[in-house]
Structure 1
Amino acid sequence: MSTATTADTTAAGTTPATPGLADLTASVHLGLRQAGFEGTATELVPMLGGHSGLTYRVSMGENSFVVKAVPLGQRSVGRHDMLRQAKILQALEGTGVPVPTVRASHDSDSTEVQSWFAMDLVAGESLEPVLDDPAVEPTLAAARMRRAAQVLPLLHAVPLADLPIDSEPLSPADELARWVRTMGAVPPELVTGADELQRRLEASVPEAIEPVLVHGDYRLGNILSAGTEPAAIIDWEIWSPGDPRVELGWFMVFADGSNFPGVGREVPGLPTPAELVELYRGDGPELGDLTWFDALGRFKMAAIMGHNLRRHREGRHHNPAQEQLPATIERLITTGLERLA
C-alpha cells in the first residue's frame, strides 16, 4: 500500500546525495531536449510517495514533468519495469481514459544505466479519503468516488487488441494465487485467520469472464482529481488483462473507513459498495454476486499490510507507523470470513 501524493508535492529540504542522480539528470535533460522541449532545466527533485521505482519532478522551460526511473543497480523488470508503464500510458492516450502524456523515455539493458520515462505533471490531488492526510471534505470525497466508479468502465472498455499485452489474462484463481504467495511470506501470527479465509476463497473461486484491461490498484489514492473530476489515473505498476470484478472488489474496500481501524477514518456520506457497482454498471449487464471479490480484496489488503509489518519488524524497512496495522489486518480478515460464511 502506497501513501498518496499530490501532483505537485516534493520532498522537503535539500535533495540528498543519490547514487547516479547526476547521470540520470543528464539523461532526462537530453531526452526531453531531443523530444523538442527547450529552456532552462531544473535538477531532479524527489517526490513523496510510491514504493516501486524512483519518482522525481523536473521542469524545462515552462513545462513540468514527472520522471519515473528504475533504481540504480536494478533491472527494469516486474514492478520496476518503467518502460512497461510508459507503453500502457502511450497506448491509452486518446481512448478517453484520463492518463498523463508520456513525453520522453530511455530504455537500458544495463543495471549501471537507469531506464526512465518522463510524463506531463498533471495538477490534482491523489488522496484516499479513508486513509490519507490531509482529510478530504466528505462531500468532495463522495463525489470523487462516484466519478471514479463511472470512469472505470472506460478503462475496461479499451480493446485488448489495441494494447501492448505481454501476459496471459489473470483469472480470479490466478489473482488469488498471487496474493496467497504474498500472504505465505507473512508470519502466521501477524495474520491470524488468513489461512481460513484463504481456504474459503479457494473453495469457491468464480469462473472467469471476458478479460479486460485491469489497472491492479484502482482507487482514489491512484487518481489525480481536479475538483471532482479524474484528471489522470497514475501508478500502473501491475496492470494486466484480467477479470473486471477483481478490480471492483478492490475498489470497494476503500469505500468504508471502518475497514481500517487505527490507521484510517470513517468518512460520512461515502457511496455504498452497491451504489458504486451500479454506477460502474450503468446500462450494462448485471455483474452477478461480487461477494467473493469483496472478500478477495480484503485478503489482498491484509496480505500487503502483513508484508509491510513483517518488513518493519525485521528491520528491513523501519517505520513505526506499521505498528498501527494489526487492528486493520484483523478487521479485514474477520470481515472477509464473514462475507464467505
Structure 2
Amino acid sequence: MSDFNDRAGQVRSGEELPMAAIEHFIKQHLPDLQGQAELEQFSGGASNLTYLLRFPDRDLILRRPPFGHKAKSAHDMLREAKIMQALKPVYPYVPTVIAACDDASVMDCDFYVMERIHGIIPRHNLPKGLVLSEAETRALCLSVLDKMIALHQIDYKAAGLESIGKGEGYVQRQMDGWSERYRKAKTDDVGDFEQVMAWLKAKMPARDVATCIIHNDFRFDNVVLNPDDITDVIGVLDWEMATLGDPLMDLGNTLAYWVQADDDAVFQSVRRQPTHLPGMLSRAEVIAYYGEKTGYRVDNFDFYAIFGLFRLAVIVQQIYYRFFHGQTTNPAFANFGKMSLYLEQRCLRLIAGSAL
C-alpha cells in the first residue's frame, strides 16, 4: 500500500521549542538515542500542541499546552501522561509514554514525550489516493465505535483508575463547569447561550446512566489506523480530557463532531473527519448501534446530543478568546467566533424540535 502515514509540517511562527534543553531531557530517559532531532509540527488539534521529534533512528511525539491564556484546569500534561500510563496495560491502543517533564528550566510548561504510532489518522478527508468501498467505510466506522465501547467497558476499579475522576454526579458537574467556562470565555461578538443552558439544566437526567472511563474527545482524527488494514485501529490519541463519567455524555460529545452527508452547508464547512462518506453511519444509526452493543437506553438522547454541541461551542469559544485577545496568532482560529454563533443556533433548532 502507498505511504498514507500522518505527516507533520513546518512549525508555526511563535510556537517553536527550546530543542537543546528538550533533547538533553529526553536522552536522560533514552540514553541510546542518537543524534539531534528535526522538529516538525502536526496541524491537527486546536488545543494542545503536538510536535514530531525526528531523530536519525527514531521518531518521538511531544505534547505541550497552547501558548497564551488557558483555562485553569485545562491542558494538564502531567495528568494526561499519568492516565495514559495507567490505561496502557488494559487498553493497548494508548501510545507508550517515554517521559513527562515538570521542570521549568527545560521548557516554560509541563510536557510529555511518547512513542510515535505510524499509521493513518483520518482527518478532514482520507489521504489522497486512499479510496474505500461503502462496505470498507462501514467496517471502519464500526471499528472506531467499537474502540469507544471497549473503553467504556473497562473495569476501572480493577485497573486502579478510581482517582482519575469523581464518578457519580458527572452530568451535573459538567453542566455547571461548562456553563461557567462559556460565560468566562464570552467575547462581545458572540451569543450568550443562556437559552441553551437553561434548557439543558431543565432537561438534565436525574442520574448518570453509569460510571466508566470516558475519553471525552473520541473522534476519527484521534485514532490511528493500520495502513495495511484500514479497518484496524492501532492507536487512540489525545487523552487530555479522559476521566470517569457518564458514557452517554462521551457519545454525545463524539456526535457533536459527526458531520454527515445531509447536513447544512455551514456544518459541512467545519467538518474535520470523514463521517460524510458513503457507508458511514448517520448520527441516529450511531446512537442505535451504541445502545444495542452496550444495553444502555438511548431513546431520549436529545439532552446528550445538545449538550455535546454546547460543550463544543465552549471549546471553540475558549480558543477564540485567545485569538480575540491576541494571545495566539494561529489564523485557523480567526473564524471561531462565527462557529460559536452557528453552534448556538444549531442547539436552538434542535431544542425547538425536541420531544423532551
Q: TM-score w.r.t. structure 1 length?
A: 0.80
Please state how far the C-alpha of 1:89 moved relative to its aligned partner. 1.4
Please state how far the C-alpha of 1:322 moved relative to its aligned partner. 3.2
The question of 1:322 aligning with 2:333 is answered: no
Say which SS state the counterpart of residue 353 (structure 2) adopts.
helix
Please state how far the C-alpha of 1:187 moved relative to its aligned partner. 4.1
Please state how far the C-alpha of 1:71 moved relative to its aligned partner. 6.9
The alpha-carbon distance between structure 1 residues 179 and 30, as it changes in their structure 2 partners (threshold 3 A), is: same
The question of 1:190 aligning with 2:194 is answered: no
Aligned letter for 1:10?
A: A
Distance 1:316 1:107 in 2: 23
Distance 2:97 2:322 in 1: 34
Say which SS state the counterpart of residue 66 (structure 1) adopts.
strand
User: Size of the alignment, in residue pairs?
Assistant: 330
In structure 2, the partner of 1:179 is 178
Say which SS state the counterpart of residue 91 (structure 1) adopts.
helix
The question of 1:126 aligning with 2:121 is answered: yes
In structure 1, the partner of 2:270 is 263
In structure 1, the partner of 2:156 is 160
- The one of 269, 279, 282 equivalent to 2:289 is 279
Please state how far the C-alpha of 1:133 moved relative to its aligned partner. 7.8
Distance 1:127 1:191 in 2: 32
- Asked if the contact 2:9/2:43 (under 8 Å) is kept, the reply is yes
Please state how far the C-alpha of 1:201 moved relative to its aligned partner. 0.9
The alpha-carbon distance between structure 1 residues 205 and 49, as it changes in their structure 2 partners (threshold 3 A), is: same
Q: Which runs of 5+ in 1 are unaligned?
A: 1-5
In structure 1, the partner of 2:58 is 63
Say which SS state the counterpart of residue 203 (structure 1) adopts.
helix
Distance 2:141 2:11 in 1: 33
In structure 2, the partner of 1:144 is 140
In structure 2, the partner of 1:221 is 221
Distance 1:16 1:168 in 2: 37
Distance 1:306 1:143 in 2: 34
Q: Which runs of 5+ in 2 are unaligned?
A: none
The alpha-carbon distance between structure 1 residues 63 and 18, as it changes in their structure 2 partners (threshold 3 A), is: closer
Distance 2:320 2:11 in 1: 28
The alpha-carbon distance between structure 1 residues 256 and 19, as it changes in their structure 2 partners (threshold 3 A), is: closer
Say which SS state the counterpart of residue 154 (structure 2) adopts.
coil
- Asked if the contact 1:72/1:113 (under 8 Å) is kept, the reply is no
Aligned letter for 2:22?
A: L
In structure 1, the partner of 2:204 is 205
Distance 1:31 1:15 in 2: 29
Say which SS state the counterpart of residue 234 (structure 2) adopts.
strand
In structure 2, the partner of 1:3 is none
Please state how far the C-alpha of 1:9 moved relative to its aligned partner. 2.0
In structure 1, the partner of 2:30 is 32
Q: TM-score w.r.t. structure 2 length?
A: 0.77
Deviation string, structure 1 residues 9-56 (Cα, Å, up to 9, x no partner): 2223799783633212221233222xxx44334244333333444422
Please state how far the C-alpha of 1:269 moved relative to its aligned partner. 3.8
| Aligned-pair identity (%) | 21
The question of 1:237 aligning with 2:240 is answered: yes
The alpha-carbon distance between structure 1 residues 137 and 302, as it changes in their structure 2 partners (threshold 3 A), is: farther
In structure 2, the partner of 1:339 is 354
Distance 1:19 1:310 in 2: 24
- Asked if the contact 1:246/1:297 (under 8 Å) is kept, the reply is yes
In structure 2, the partner of 1:293 is 304
Deviation string, structure 1 residues 98-146 (Cα, Å, up to 9, x no partner): 1112233334377966543222111223334xx5686885745544332
Aligned letter for 1:221?
A: D
Aligned letter for 1:263?
A: V
Distance 2:214 2:53 in 1: 29
Say which SS state the counterpart of residue 203 (structure 2) adopts.
coil
Distance 1:173 1:186 in 2: 21
- Asked if the contact 2:18/2:106 (under 8 Å) is kept, the reply is no
Please state how far the C-alpha of 1:233 moved relative to its aligned partner. 0.9
Please state how far the C-alpha of 1:229 moved relative to its aligned partner. 2.1
Distance 2:110 2:258 in 1: 36
The alpha-carbon distance between structure 1 residues 122 and 271, as it changes in their structure 2 partners (threshold 3 A), is: same
Distance 1:339 1:200 in 2: 11
